[in-house]
Amino acid sequence: MPLPVNEPKGLPDVRVHIRNREGKYLAGREDGLYFTEDRATALVLSYEADQVAAQLENIQRTQGVRLEPVPVPLEEIYETCDRCQELFMPVMTFFDGKRFLCAECGRRLARRAAPPHPRRGVA
């Protein structure tokens, strides 16, 4: 029996860095891959979509090099709504000139800031 459309199909694909035994992270540039201590410049891979487990197993089997996936902290991937402090995908937030807001907080603030509607029939 197929899953109902509104139910989640599983966990979201986790974003990872690849780390070697020395604690350095895999990074890349035009001339190839290298390892760096600077996690900010490390490659970010999708664990499932990039088939990280299979790739790392193949590297260990063929090259004898042991590498490990390290989850990227959520706050480095997602935006935090400055009002409710919840995490959201960046495309689900907007910047109002002062802060990042989720859609719900943006609507709440817009309703509060909107001028009252004039009453009809009252002169």
Look at residue 88 and tell me if it is in a domain.
yes
Domain interval for residue 102: 78-113
Predicted pLDDT of residue 112: 77
41 and 66 belong to one structural domain: yes
pLDDT mean over 96-123? 77
pTM of the model: 0.62
How far apart CA 74 and CA 56 sit, in angstroms, is 23
What's the structural domain count of the chain? 2
pLDDT mean over 100-117? 81
65 and 22 belong to one structural domain: yes
Average pLDDT, the chain: 85
28 and 43 belong to one structural domain: yes
Q: Which of 62, 96, 56 is nearest to 79 (CA)?
A: 96
Predicted pLDDT of residue 114: 66
How many CB atoms are closer than 10 A to CB 42?
21
pLDDT mean over 85-110? 87
What is the token pair recorded at 63?
Answer: 């090259």
